[in-house]
Structures are given as C-alpha cells and as structure tokens.
Structure 1
Amino acid sequence: MKLKPFITLLAMTSAVSAAWADDTSPITISGFGTAALTRSNTSDAEFARPNQLAGVTSSAKTGVDSNFGIQATAKMNDWLSFTGQGLVRKNVTDNFGAELTWAFAKAKVNDNLNLRVGRIGLPVYMISDYRNVGYANTMLRPPIEMYSQVTLESVDGVDAVYQTNLGETAITAQLAYGVTDAEQRGNFTAKFKNVSGINIVAENGPFTFRFGRVDTKVTVDNSSNLNTLVSGLTKFGFKSAADAIAVSDTKASFTSLGLGVDWKSFVVQAEYGKRKSASLSIANTTSWYTMFGYRMGSFLPYVVHASATQDSARTVAGLPASGPLLPYTLGANGLASASPIQTSNSVGVRWDFYKSAALKLQLDRMSPDNGPGVFVNAKPGFKGPVTVFAAAVDFVF
C-alpha cells in the first residue's frame, strides 16, 4: 500500500505529539533511520538495492542506502495491541516514497503464543524483521546477492508466533499466511497468493540457528514484454517454450538456513538459500554469504564474502537460432538469464560513537558474471568488477 509521504509523516507527527502529551499513554513510539552516501567507480552501470528503479554511479548519492521509519504501538489491555510502521525510502520509483510496512493487531493467547492479523513481516531471511533497521545490523546493508532473491517484506494475512525453552535453548517458531502484490522494475506487478512462511529460530548462549521456508503462487499479467513473448510463441507453435516462461499461478519457494555467533569479541553471521520456481522467468538460484567481525571496544571491523549463482537453464529449449522469429528467442532467453550472477568481497567497520547511533564505512568489490549482476541500467559492454563505497550513520530513537 503506497501512501503520500506528507500524509504519512503528518499522521506520525500527530501520534508522537499525542503520546508525549501524556506520560501514561498506552501508545509507544520508536523510530529508526539511515543517512548514507553511496558511490561506485563506474558510470557504465548503476548500483541499486533490490527493486530500486535506479541507483548510483561514480557520483555519490543519498538514495540507495538511506531511509527513515517510525513505529507506533497502542496497547489496549493485557492481551491486545495494535502496531503500525511507516517507512520512507527509494524503492520502485526514483523518488523517496512512504510505505505502510506493518499494520497489525496482536493478541496474546498465553505466555508462549501470540497471534497477529493484518500487514505483517514475512520471515524470508535471518534479519527479515529488521532488515531496514540499519542500527540493528553489523553490516551497512544485507548482502545483495542473498537479499535480492526474494524481495517480499510483508504480506496481508495472519501469523502465529510460539516461544518456548528446551533446556538452555530458546525456541521461536513462526507460521505466516497471506497475500501481497509487489511492484517490480519494468513497470509491472507480481501478484502473490497462498503465501505461506515458516521460521524456526533456536538460540543457545552465543549461538543462533535458523531455518526458513516460504512457498507461494505468483502471477504476472500486466507485463507487456512477457505477454508479447508468451502470446507470440504460442501463436507460432512454440507452446512448450511459452509455458516455460509464463508466470501464471506459478509455484515458487525459497528455503534458507542461517547461523549467528556473538562470542566474546567474535561476531559471525551466515546464510544459505535456494530459490525454486516452475517458470524459467523466475530462475532457480543458490545464494549465500558469510560475515566475520571482531569487536574492539566501540569499533567492529568486519569482512564479508557473498555469492549468487543460477541453477536453472539460462536459455529456453526448442527455439530457432535464426530467422524472423529470432527476436522471440532473444526475448525468452533474456528472461531466463535475468537473474543476477555474481560474487562480492566486502570490508567495513562499525563505530558505535553514541548509545543510539553508529557510523559505518563499507567497501564492496563486486564481480558480475555472465551479465550485469545486481547492477541496473547497464550500458552495452559493461562488465565488472566494480567497487562500491558507502558511508552511513544509523540511528534509533
């Protein structure tokens, strides 16, 4: 749900004023944000986060890694509360816009079980609930190789969160179900139904282990490019090729594992994920990353290695290699090979210079393979590697 930025911010301001006017108010307000400058060393392509329409080249800009969010929770009684979260950032347009990212009612069934109804976070990744809260993360941004595989962040539906202890291990299990629409680059919308998610987290001392799985059926019916290719291939007798790239009630899934370690001065975070679908337009992929950090007082330097590869075919079988139908072949193969393939190595440092603010510097060396990787608006002949540098101040209040 897209909202006009000034309407959203006006509502947030009114809520803050009301809450502060009465210290006993059941309304609590919190917020977060990132003020960042990002640039690369090339003008031949733009570095952008997932779903951003445009990014940054050799001229530093604020839009890629900056955002601002406010969250309000109204506690009605001991068992019922309402939560809303608004976020301002650049997404599928090249301008800052406001989104209602969370809007749910939560019922506390007992000390172990909570039920939520409304717009809720979808447990896709290890840091799904706070991926946009830079202060909560060691890295300046989640590795794009991993976090570009599924760009959904929330669904409209229900979930149940159950927490218990098994000896010294704390277990949190989340089940979610809902629907959502997601605007995509290329001026089309992906419609997701029967979205189901499971998220299991086990915490024992300094160790955190996670398993996650998301299943859905996705439809894209307003992409002029995809519609033209599917109808043209069908018309000229290539029905199997048309079916291979069509996205209509297409089954898709994402399965992931995560590990976190915060032991003495050592900080480790790693994730591994597999995306699968029944359409070549949504490629099967494998992605992973590992981060190692070492805390030295208020400084935390870290290194990251990340990778994304494609497991499904990057060409559509049975199409002509020449002749008048060659444009259809090129178009279909372009869809099948659109998934980013690349590796990256990053170094960075986090400095907690204030109790609720941190300065981060991060340098990424990204190496696209067999295409532009995660870069957008690439010029002909573009290839890596590319160096991306960012400086950011993350804060919470």
Structure 2
Amino acid sequence: MNKKILASLLALPLVMPAVNAQETSGLSAIKVSGFGTGAVTWTNEERAEFVRPNQPSGAADNVRTGVDSNLGLQADMPVNSWLSLTGQVLVRKDAEEHFGAELGWAFAKARISDNLSVRVGRVGLPVFMISDYRNVGYANTMLRPPAEIYSQVPFNSIDGADITWQHGFGDTSLTSQLAYGSVKSPLAGDVHAKGKQIIALNVSAEHGPFIVRAGHARTKVSVEDSTSLNTLVAGLRAAGAGYRFPTLAPLAAEIEAKEKQAHFSSVGLAMDWNNIVVQTEFAKRKTKTYINDTTSWYVMGGYRIGKFLPYYTHSTLKIDSAIVNTVPAACPAGYPAACTPTMQALGAGVRRLPNVGVGQGEQTTDSIGIRWDFASSVALKAQIDRVKPKNGTGLFVNPQPGFSGPVTVGAVALDFVF
C-alpha cells in the first residue's frame, strides 16, 4: 500500500478516500463512497473449514466466495463548519451462513478545535493497528488481516463516544483516541458477545515513513443466549451437588461468562520506505472467564516493484493459560451407574466450550502473496497460507474426526474503492 494513500485513509473521518464521491440528487452535501472485495477461497482439507473471525462456516476442499468477500457503503454529510454526520453499512458473511448487512458506523462528529474532535453514536473500536479499515481490502497490503491477532476481540464497534486529539511536534504527528461505550455482537445464530463499560485508549505517532501505535482496552464481557453454554454450567452445578464433587461448582462459576473482566493490549509498527513495506503487531488478551488468555503477533514484509507488491507474512497465536478441566473421567465405585456417563459428557462439554474451546485456537500461519495495482482504485491479490494448528484444531471450524492439519489455503481477491 502506497504510504500517501495510507496516510489519507488514516486522516479522513471516512477511513477511506472518497474516490469519485457521488452527490445525491437534492442532497448535494451528502457524499457517498464505498469499498468492496470479490474473492474466492479454498483449501486442500475436507475435514475442517477455514474462516475469517466470527464466521460459522467457510472453505474446505471447495471454492467459496463468502469467506473474504464484502461490500461497504458510506455516507458523510457536513451539517455546518464544525459538525458532520457519518454512516456506514457493511455487507458480509458474519455469524450467519448467508450474507447480511450491518450498521458498522453511525455517528455525529463535532470538531471542537483544529486538534480536538468528538464523535457520538456507533464508532469503531480502536483495538488494532488497522481497526478502522480492516474490512477495506484495498487499504491493506495483505489479502486479509492475520486471524491469529484479529480473532482475539469479537467487537468491531461500540455504541458510545470517542474523543480524538491530534498534534504535530516538528516532523512527527501524534494522535490519541479515547473511546467509551458498550456493544452486543452476534457470534453464531442467536448467541451474542456483550461488552459492557468498554474503555479503549489508542495512541499513534507518524514520522516520515514510520507509524507506531499502542492501545489498551478493557471491558466486562458476557456470552448471552448460548443454550449449550447455559446447559453446561447448569449441568456442572447439578452434578456437583448431586454427586458431591466439590470441584464442579467452582468450575461452573469460572466458565460462566457474565460480566467477567477482560483486557486487550497491543502495539504495532508500519513502515513504507524506498519501496520496502513492513507491518507488525503484538497483542495479549486476558479474561476472567473460560475464554483463553492469549499472546499473538505477526510480521509482514514486502517490496514494491512497479505496480506489483509481493509480500510474506508470519503470524502466531499462543495460549498463555486456560481453565483447568476438573471434571473426573470416571466416578468411584459405589456411585450410581449414570455417574460416569454424566461426567464423561460434562468433561467433553468443557473441552468443546462454545465459541472458544478450552485449549483450542493455537496455530501459526505462513503466507505468501502478491498485490497488483493494475488500475486506478482497483487491486488484484493472490495469497497462499500454510496454517499449522497446535494442540487441537486451531481457528478452523466444524472439524471432523482425524483433523490435525497443516492446511494449505488459497485465495484470489479483487479489491476496489469508489
């Protein structure tokens, strides 16, 4: 990605440049712009499916269009010299089997001064280096953000407010953003993740070809409307009381995801210098529920040759700690006949906890790809990933018996803005 284009994307409140912005008849002040990706994705594995974060199904040894394809439309209307309105609708496959539309942004922005602005409404949650434009394929070198990091927070936006302060110190531009609000995001079917009292701080500095950022977010997280999770928690408590296993009630309390504290911290660096392109992020997640504590990172390097940009990415997701499965494998002699089958079912339920299984998710990915900017505002990308799950099924979904990886994933995407 050309640095001048990236700087424009970061500077504009619309996140992406209003290329060929259209004026709506009768409302000439409203500017409409958009972005999209048309992609096909496939793998060499039939026993599990490759997905982007928060997708219930994806690509196996067949070609799928729903993994990496999306379409976004955005409208911006200035009300006066200091107030503007922005809305963004994103169409993609997220939490459901089919494509659906979601209101990603809907906020009013007030410019308090040349350096200070406030947004109120539904705003982006600034937890990653490319949070605001991770769905804008054209704005990114890679075909998709590495799932090893970008799967660690299920929230893209919050309903609340943020305040942004920008200031120049010589040749260095400093931007700080503080956001506060709440959000309820779908995970799968009727299951939702809810973040309450989310507070996030994001600070970035740009100097010449370098951009450095650091961020921290914390919230009280809940998993709601999950029949399987609620059934498991109730079963652990009932079995603990009925069969007098004292470890099951504390385990149920630890698993139950109701307003449990969660933290996410990350740092990142980007460079576009003399045709050399580098981008990297490092992040840690900590929660007080069954969701694993993790460390994740990636590094991407590429070299621009005319209109072509070949690149390589390595990314890693490691589990730092997870809850201990204290369900006994069998019941002692003298217990009712139903005890052992009950314990086996509960133990299996803990191992495959909904949405984030205990001990699941570890993996590494090595990717090679190429970006070709063959026309104005259009880029063609091809990428091959070698994904290696560790200690389970990694981030793959719908695994079948015998699956262990590694898996080769291929994708071709056409990115555009308008």
Normalising to structure 2: TM-score of the pair?
0.88
How many angstroms apart in 2 are the aligned matches of 1:341 and 1:17? 43
SS at match of 1:321: coil
Return the offset for 1:70: 0.7
Alignment of 1:240 with 2:250, yes or no, is yes
SS at match of 2:23: helix
- Give the aligned residue type for 1:75: P
Tell me, yes or no, if the aligned pair for 1:40 and 1:56 is still in contact at 8 Å: yes
Return the offset for 1:168: 1.8
Matches within 5 A, 1:102-181: 102-181=105-184
Task: Indicate which of 315, 324, 327 corresponds to 1:315.
Answer: 324
The ranges of structure 1 where at least 4 consecutive aligned residues each deviate by more than 3 angstroms after the TM superposition are none
Alignment of 1:328 with 2:377, yes or no, is no
How many angstroms apart in 2 are the aligned matches of 1:64 and 1:160? 34
- Could you list the runs of 5+ residues in structure 2 that have no partner in the other structure? 1-19, 242-247, 332-339
How many angstroms apart in 2 are the aligned matches of 1:268 and 1:192? 32
Tell me, yes or no, if the aligned pair for 1:365 and 1:388 is still in contact at 8 Å: yes
Cα distance change on mapping 1:119 and 1:264 into 2, 3 Å: same
- Give the aligned residue type for 2:401: P
Question: Which residue number in structure 1 is paired with residue 313 of structure 2?
Answer: 304
Alignment of 1:377 with 2:390, yes or no, is no
Question: Which residue number in structure 2 is paired with residue 5 of structure 1?
Answer: none
Matches within 5 A, 1:221-370: 221-235=224-238, 236-237=240-241, 238-279=248-289, 281-313=290-322, 315-316=324-325, 318-323=326-331, 324=340, 325-335=343-353, 337=358, 339-370=360-391
Aligned residues: 379
How many angstroms apart in 2 are the aligned matches of 1:243 and 1:54? 30
Tell me, yes or no, if the aligned pair for 2:389 and 2:395 is still in contact at 8 Å: yes
Question: Which residue number in structure 2 is paired with residue 11 of structure 1?
Answer: none
Question: Which residue number in structure 2 is paired with residue 21 of structure 1?
Answer: 25
- Could you list the runs of 5+ residues in structure 1 that have no partner in the other structure? 1-15
Cα distance change on mapping 1:81 and 1:186 into 2, 3 Å: closer
Question: Which residue number in structure 2 is paired with residue 92 of structure 1?
Answer: 95
Tell me, yes or no, if the aligned pair for 1:169 and 1:204 is still in contact at 8 Å: yes
How many angstroms apart in 2 are the aligned matches of 1:103 and 1:89? 18
Identity level (%): 51
Post-superposition Cα deviations, 1:324-362, rounded to whole Å, max 9, x if no partner, equal: 223222222333525411001000000000110000000
Tell me, yes or no, if the aligned pair for 2:364 and 2:389 is still in contact at 8 Å: yes
Q: Which moved more, 1:291-300 or 1:326-335?
A: 326-335
SS at match of 1:255: strand
- Give the aligned residue type for 1:19: E
Tell me, yes or no, if the aligned pair for 1:315 and 1:333 is still in contact at 8 Å: no
Q: Which moved more, 1:169-178 or 1:24-33?
A: 24-33
Tell me, yes or no, if the aligned pair for 2:291 and 2:322 is still in contact at 8 Å: no
Task: Indicate which of 194, 201, 204 corresponds to 1:198.
Answer: 201
